[in-house]
Chain A
Amino acid sequence: MVLNFTRSVALATAVLAGLSTAAHAEWPEKPIKVIVPFKAGGTSDQVVRAFQAAIQENDLLPQPLTVVNVGGHFSIGARQVMEAQPDGYTFLSLHIALMGGEGGGIFDFGYRDFEPVATTGEFCVLPVVRKDSGIDSVDELLQKAKDEPDTLLFGANLGAINHMGGILLQNLVDGAKFRFVQIGGGTANFTALTGNQTNASVLSAAEVANFTRNPDGTEIADTQIKPLAYTGAERVEGLPDVPTMQELGYDMTYCVQSWWFAPKGTPQEAIDGVADALQKATQTDRVKKFYDDKMFGPVFLRGEEMAASLDDTWARIEPVAKQAAQK
């Protein structure tokens, strides 16, 4: 009974909302909701909040963005947006985990079920090992993983970004195999490496810099870990002495981009409006500073370009995600 009543109220409100948007075509006439399918405080949340602040400070949109964190598994928030009214007032911010989850069979929808809005910034990762491991290069790491398959402990959050990064690495050399261990995200892996519980992992550039470098760029004396290479196309500014994978002769780039999506059927003017605001925001001091601090690459894509880039990423990631799901 109660449920039915709530449902009919919700339905009536939805219908009314639909009517009112049809009546006043001026978008936006109310605040725009951005769903971050993670808890407050993480990197994904910080990205959206930096853009939110930049847009508000510089009046890039006539209405404010409101950030809504939907915790639990990220598929829950993503699905909320997918099933939301495509009225131009609900957006999603997510990254490659969306493809990892679809490829790994955790849920049955994917990036094609959304309207791509914009890609704002990316971070790439670095394979790291313990300093006292006797491993000094990616060559040695992969050679060891080949000579003693399934013995090097690779800390990861199974099925997630760092796990897929590890699989991409071991796939570079035939027969190389890490033993993946559930540890968690970047900080947890730093902890596990420092405590000599695992042998390798991948960390983001900002994490490596934070855990191993003094503010002036010199190495922290008592740090236990060292990065071996950077998976971006070019060296990262804060870690100039770390070579890229491509310089080392490996055909591997692995960067995590921030994607903004809208529900299928969202009016083009709303998609363009948000994309415009995001594009302008990338030129503000706040976002530039944020990119610098987090060592993000300043990539910006929208429209066809973004769609093509998503297809390209999916083609590379789907097999890796499948591999990650097999245990």
Chain B
Amino acid sequence: MIDGLTGALLHIFTPMPFLYVLIGTVAGIVVGAIPGLSGAMLIALTLPLTFYMEPVNAIVLLIGMYVGSITGGLITATLLRMPGTPSNVVTTFDGHPMAMAGRPGRALGLGIAASFMGGLVSWVVLLFLAKPLSIWATRFGPFEYFTLILMAMVLIASVSQGSMVKGLVAGFLGMLVSMPGVDPSAGQPRLTWDWYVLNGGLKLLPVLIGIFAVSQVIGDIVTIGKRMERVETRVSGMLMTVKDWRDQMWNMLRSSAIGTAVGILPGIGASIGSIMAYTTARNMSRRPEEYGKGSEEGIVASEAANNATIGGALIPLIAMGIPGSVIDAILIGALMIHSITPGPTLFITNSDVVWAMIAAALVANVVMYVVMMGSVRVVARIMYVPRTFMLPVILVFCVIGTFALDNTMFDVWVMLAFGVLGFAMEKGGFPLGPFVIGFVLAPLMEEKLRSGLMMTAGSIEPIFTRPLPLIFLLISILLLLLPAFRAWRVARSARRRLDARADGASS
């Protein structure tokens, strides 16, 4: 193992492979940071270019893009409240308020450090535990997935800010718009009104870009004539101090572990990892009231977790040939073009490629940290660019990115329509986070539940008889009751104080 790794690391530090990691990571960061363009798209578009490259160079380039794109998304999520990728949605909850409060440098610095840490933790797990963990992941049956997603779903209630009812309405609306398309469990179209373009359903990226980026653009256009009051912006506090590291270390490790575990499970992506880490951090926090208003812990939890899913998702890919994420599926395609088939024998047939992938994941993570930290000062100035210049550019990228995803104009109309919807929801006080979470999770949850019911001929018994589903179910119930319990305790202590005062007055 040591030989393989050091060999691959030495190879990556020769000029050409290192150049490819650098190009890949920087390109990933830039594309990830542009709302509308996603890492999956960048990698898919780069695929043909890798035909004529050495397999190892091709793969380190693509891994660099993967790592860069997930991290790059945090820039716009923080500064503009437009998540660059689906996995950065949760980062907007606290990153944006902190940036608006005049501390964009601090917000970015925390996010970058957390991303680095998340990447590192999952990398260590990838290095040492790839085989046993990927075998463990195959045992995850439909009911395990169903209850796991149910747990994430219940978190909608706790991440929603403001009115609980409006949060739930937004969540259910998100679930509803995820329903049209060819039913994943029966292969038949539903809710498509015989309109064939709906056979593919409303896709994640157009909806996400519409609801977050386009709605923000519309909102900014509406207020563009008005003089914005500008907050004092400081880029200081970017580097974390020893005290910061000490304060955040436990949160970082826990969030990274959650992200890695979610990443290993095939088919559920980085967004679930960050939601789960965020809410866990909030429930264990001593200052839960700061969440959603610019909590440092919130940024750290979300970014550590979404970067940790990268290493996690590479585990089943390398150990079993099972892609852990959409991007991994494209990586498999890239390997196949070079006649390399990922699978249980990859270590035997192409150990140089495996070690190059593992080494590239580490090097790209370090490159990402250096590049991001070096450019934060410049990047944070996005806050100063007049909106009149920025909005058209963003909108153009949104249209290009959405079209390029699947080469259909329909997706662009969907994006614009959801931009209007997102704007209207904001105006009406309906939070966007629960909407997106409902939209992402409902189809997965439905598919897993129905697979499970097909297996058992309609019985839900395994939920109660298997250990993992039962644990997930109990945690879900607990999460549902926790806010109510907290409210009850607050009310009780208030009443006691009142009673005590009343007692004092009467005596």
Q: Chain A residues with Cβ under 8 A from B231's Cβ?
A: none
Do A49 and B186 touch across chains, with their CB atoms under 8 A apart?
A: no
Beyond A79-B196, A104-B188, A188-B266, is A41–B330 a contact (Cβ under 8 Å)?
yes
A179 CB-CB contact with B under 8 Å: yes
Beyond A69-B406, A215-B348, A223-B344, is A158–B185 a contact (Cβ under 8 Å)?
yes
Beyond A40-B47, A325-B187, is A71–B406 a contact (Cβ under 8 Å)?
yes
Do B188 and A76 touch across chains, with their CB atoms under 8 A apart?
A: no
Do B185 and A196 touch across chains, with their CB atoms under 8 A apart?
A: no
Could you mark each residue 249-261 of chain B with 1 if its beta carbon is under 8 Å from any beta carbon of chain A, else 0?
0000000000000
Q: Chain B residues with Cβ under 8 A from A40's Cβ?
A: 44, 47, 330, 333
Beyond A195-B141, A210-B321, is A104–B187 a contact (Cβ under 8 Å)?
yes
A188 to B267, CA, bound (A): 9
Kindly report which residue of chain B lies nearest to residue A100, judged by CB atoms: B187
Segment 168-195 of A: residues with Cβ below 8 Å from B: 179-183, 187-188, 190-192, 194-195
Segment 213-246 of A: residues with Cβ below 8 Å from B: 213-215, 220, 222-223
Do B201 and A187 touch across chains, with their CB atoms under 8 A apart?
A: no
Chain A contact surface mostly: mixed
Which of A73, A153, A211, A324 gathers the greatest number of chain B CB atoms within 10 Å? A73
CB distance from B37 to the nearest CB of A (A): 15
Q: Chain A residues with Cβ under 8 A from B337's Cβ?
A: 46, 49-50
Q: Chain A residues with Cβ under 8 A from B344's Cβ?
A: 210-211, 220, 222-223
A249 CB-CB contact with B under 8 Å: no
A289 CB-CB contact with B under 8 Å: yes
Beyond A67-B48, A194-B135, A210-B343, is A46–B336 a contact (Cβ under 8 Å)?
yes
Do A210 and B199 touch across chains, with their CB atoms under 8 A apart?
A: no
A159 CB-CB contact with B under 8 Å: yes
Could you mark each residue 139-161 of chain A with 1 if its beta carbon is under 8 Å from any beta carbon of chain B, else 0?
00000000000100100011110
Kindly report which residue of chain B lies nearest to residue A107, judged by CB atoms: B196
Segment 47-66 of B: residues with Cβ below 8 Å from A: 47-48, 51
Do A70 and B408 touch across chains, with their CB atoms under 8 A apart?
A: yes
CB distance from A43 to the nearest CB of B (A): 8
Beyond A42-B333, A191-B138, A289-B339, is A180–B200 a contact (Cβ under 8 Å)?
no
Beyond A72-B200, A187-B323, A220-B345, is A194–B187 a contact (Cβ under 8 Å)?
no
CB distance from B396 to the nearest CB of A (A): 16
Binds A, one of B234-242, B276-284, B447-455, B495-503: B447-455
Q: Chain B residues with Cβ under 8 A from A196's Cβ?
A: 139
Q: How many A-B residue pairs have CB under 8 A?
A: 157
Could you mark each residue 192-205 of chain B with 1 if its beta carbon is under 8 Å from any beta carbon of chain A, else 0?
00001101110100
CB distance from B32 to the nearest CB of A (A): 18
B443 CB-CB contact with A under 8 Å: no
| Complex partner residue of B454 from A106, A179, A187, CB under 8 angstroms | A179
Do A76 and B320 touch across chains, with their CB atoms under 8 A apart?
A: no
A179 to B330, CA, bound (A): 31
B219 CB-CB contact with A under 8 Å: no
Kindly report which residue of chain A lies nearest to residue B200, judged by CB atoms: A72
Q: Chain B residues with Cβ under 8 A from A112's Cβ?
A: none
B104 CB-CB contact with A under 8 Å: no
Q: Chain B residues with Cβ under 8 A from A106's Cβ?
A: 182, 187-189, 199
Could you mark each residue 16-48 of chain A with 1 if its beta carbon is under 8 Å from any beta carbon of chain B, else 0?
000000000000000000000001111001100
| Complex partner residue of B406 from A42, A50, A70, A190, CB under 8 angstroms | A70
Beyond A72-B203, A293-B341, is A41–B44 a contact (Cβ under 8 Å)?
yes
B163 CB-CB contact with A under 8 Å: no
Do A182 and B447 touch across chains, with their CB atoms under 8 A apart?
A: yes
A268 to B456, CA, bound (A): 54
B184 CB-CB contact with A under 8 Å: yes
Do B138 and A195 touch across chains, with their CB atoms under 8 A apart?
A: yes
Kindly report which residue of chain A lies nearest to residue B336, judged by CB atoms: A46
Do B407 and A68 touch across chains, with their CB atoms under 8 A apart?
A: yes
Kindly report which residue of chain A lies nearest to residue B142, judged by CB atoms: A197
A206 to B203, CA, bound (A): 31
| Complex partner residue of A214 from B51, B267, B341, B348, CB under 8 angstroms | B348
Do A215 and B349 touch across chains, with their CB atoms under 8 A apart?
A: yes
B117 CB-CB contact with A under 8 Å: no
Do A159 and B345 touch across chains, with their CB atoms under 8 A apart?
A: no
Segment 333-354 of B: residues with Cβ below 8 Å from A: 333-334, 336-337, 339, 341, 343-345, 348-349
A290 to B333, CA, bound (A): 13
Q: Chain B residues with Cβ under 8 A from A213's Cβ?
A: 345
A303 to B322, CA, bound (A): 39
B405 CB-CB contact with A under 8 Å: yes
Could you mark each residue 370-410 of chain B with 1 if its beta carbon is under 8 Å from any beta carbon of chain A, else 0?
00000000000000000000000000000000000111100
| Complex partner residue of A72 from B186, B199, B447, B457, CB under 8 angstroms | B199
- If A45-B333, A52-B48 are given as contacts, then 20 extra A-B residue pairs at C-beta distance below 8 Å, sorted by A number, are A40-B330, A41-B330, A41-B333, A42-B333, A46-B337, A49-B47, A67-B48, A70-B406, A71-B406, A75-B199, A106-B188, A150-B457, A182-B186, A182-B451, A191-B320, A191-B322, A197-B141, A206-B341, A289-B339, A293-B339
Q: Can you report 6 A-B residue pairs in the complex whose CB atoms are below 8 A from each other?
A: A53-B51, A72-B201, A75-B199, A187-B323, A197-B455, A211-B344
Q: Which 10 residue pairs across A and B have the least CB separation, nearest first?
A: A72-B200, A159-B187, A41-B333, A195-B138, A73-B199, A71-B406, A210-B343, A40-B44, A41-B330, A73-B200
Residue positions of B touching A, CB distance < 8 A: 44, 47-48, 51, 135, 137-142, 181-182, 184-189, 196-197, 199-201, 203, 266-267, 320-323, 329-334, 336-337, 339, 341, 343-345, 348-349, 405-408, 447, 450-451, 454-455, 457
